[in-house]
């Protein structure tokens, strides 16, 4: 069973095996979570990511984590050039991030709220979809031990905290 936790803070400060980046399908790292990861971890993360793109929206690619305390960055493509996302894209990106984590054999993973910044997707619905995918994944065979949702601001933190309480 995966231990699921919710924290308010900066995802780049967490010392876990992998951090998930809310990415576009070209894997360019501009603002939001991607910008924070690039600033804290170094431009080499984006350089490596762009070489792996473009990927399909809903897919996930893996790079090193540069100067961050994590070992990997999993770039979850929740939108394309149109900067739009939806429930299915978020579900697929979450599922594929979990698959990449399994392929890497990692034990701990941090997610931001995918698609809720630039993508403008509603926080409560994002929390329901992402938590649902983590709990669904947890029901199967998994090497993951800990999934942490790291939310940057109070509204996102509250939405994910309430959803975790609902799903437990």
Residue 83: per-residue pLDDT: 85
Enumerate domains of the chain plus CATH numbers: 3-167 (3.40.220.10)
Q: Which CA distances in Å does 64 have to 31, 104, 131?
A: 19, 12, 25
Stretches where the chain sits below pLDDT 50 are none
pLDDT digits (tens, 9 = 90+) for 32-41: 999 999 999 9
């Amino acid at each position: 069973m995966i231990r699921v936790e919710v924290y308010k803070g900066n995802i780049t400060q967490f010392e876990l095996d992998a951090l998930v980046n809310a990415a576009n399908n070209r894997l360019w790292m501009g603002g939001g979570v991607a910008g924070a990861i690039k600033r804290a971890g170094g431009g080499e993360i984006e350089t490596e990511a762009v070489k792996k793109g473009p990927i399909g929206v809903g897919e996930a690619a893996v790079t090193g984590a540069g100067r961050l305390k994590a070992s990997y960055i999993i770039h979850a493509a929740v939108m394309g050039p149109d900067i739009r996302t939806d429930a299915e894209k978020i579900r697929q990106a979450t599922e594929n991030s979990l698959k990449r984590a399994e392929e890497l054999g990692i034990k701990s993973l941090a997610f931001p709220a995918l698609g809720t910044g630039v993508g403008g997707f509603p926080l409560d619905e994002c929390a329901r979809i992402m938590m649902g995918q983590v709990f669904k994944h947890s029901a199967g065979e998994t090497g993951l031990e800990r999934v942490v949702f790291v939310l940057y601001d109070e509204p996102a933190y509250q939405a994910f905290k309430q959803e975790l309480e609902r799903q437990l």
